[in-house]
Amino acid sequence: MTETRSPRKVLILGALSAMAAATARRLADRGSDFVITGRNADALERAAKDLKARGAASVAIQTLDLLETGSADAVMAQAVEAMGGLDTVLVFYGILGNQAQAETDPQEAERIIAVNYSSAVHWVMAGARALEAQSGPNRVLLTASSVAGDRGRRSNYVYGSAKAGLSVLMQGLAHKWAAQENAPRAVNLKLGFVDTPMTDGIEKGGPLWAKPDDIAAIAERALTKGGPNVYAPWFWRFIMLAIRGTPAFVFNKVNL
């Protein structure tokens, strides 16, 4: 069996998101072990049963609010104990928030930043410490970010700034590990439009929209190769290259 289909020991932070659930299903098919986290205990129980039915070797659940970051190292230690090791940490939670509200309501702006960046920093760093303490091969820390962080736009610049911060954090972590022998890998998915509950308020349709299963396939491949930034789907790399390269005097006339 090749490494791309071998079992993993997976901690998923934000396991109830549509993309996380789709990725977990693919990894369950390998016979992987899981610790899945989220705020809804009943939904986690249902997800655990589904993963076991799909072939997961074991599934433990931890009910927690990821904004409460004081337990981050303890959660990592518990995951290692539950699975007898850890080689994969997936950070798959986030919110889009309300840009218009954030412009007048500091609490909404703070909420967007706290969920998408400041709390994620704690979990990423705790995950990095946990993976560094393990000795096995193929260790990966993977985060879900967004192309919104590639250039500030009037429609979502608070959210975009948080995702830009997460992307730079992961790029820096990847740079650190690249200088070390037998270190883990850091991979950051830069997501385009994905049809999930988070985007329910946005009109959907057309070739730019991906499904959670599409992202799951990209995430699974990224656990083996690629990074530190992986555009998902791939064509967003070229879309964002054009957006970043557009002169300000032109860009400012476009409603994005």
Catalytic annotation, residues: 159
Distance set, CA 42 to CA 1, 14, 80, 84, 250 (Å): 35, 14, 23, 25, 50
Answer yes or no: are the C-beta atoms of 190 and 148 closer than 8 Å: no
